[in-house]
Amino acid sequence: MPNLLTAIVDRVDVEYGQFVLQEIPMTRNALEVPVPAGDWLAAGGDGGLLLHSAGTDHRPSVRVELWDAEPHAAAGGWDRVVELRCDLGERVRLQSVTATQSPRVLPITRPGPHHARVHAGGRAETAALDEGTFAEGVEGWLVQLWPA
């Protein structure tokens, strides 16, 4: 039975349609993770996750969970769900692409390779936002992490 170890709930500034879940310290930068071709939601690699929003200049609600094993799929009306891998250090936080950092930090109990299941909802409503609206909580995200 998987156990939820810890979680953070936060908002993050989306800029240029993107934001990151970034390890601390930033010796490996999640912004350097290769971007998939086509319509992508998330990319994972050394240092964290690069996340692609449906809009720009807004502040989605994001929950990041750390589990000790693969959790059950999250219920809810998610628009998209993807699974990928990343490699994380001892702590991570949400961050904008221009480095506005969240004060909320998620400790990673077993640094190294992790699975990530990324959920996103409210994407159609977010895509309809005008640039520069800085709307809050229209788009919602859930990121579930567990050791690989």
CATH of the domain at 138: 2.60.34.30
Task: Note every long-range contact of 105-108, with CB atoms under 8 Å and residues 24 or more positions apart, other chains counting.
Answer: 105/8, 105/24, 106/6, 106/7, 106/8, 106/64, 106/66, 107/6, 107/66, 108/23, 108/66, 108/145
pLDDT of residue 128: 95
| Structural domain for 101, as ranges | 4-147
Nearest to residue 45, comparing CAs of 108, 110, 114, 106? Answer: 114
pLDDT of residue 135: 93
pLDDT of residue 131: 87
Q: Provide the phi-psi class of 109: left if phi over 0, else alpha when psi is between -120 and 50, else beta.
A: alpha
Give the predicted TM-score (pTM) of the model: 0.96
pLDDT of residue 99: 82
pLDDT of residue 15: 95
Q: What is the number of domains present in the chain?
A: 1
Report residues of the chain scoring pLDDT below 50: none
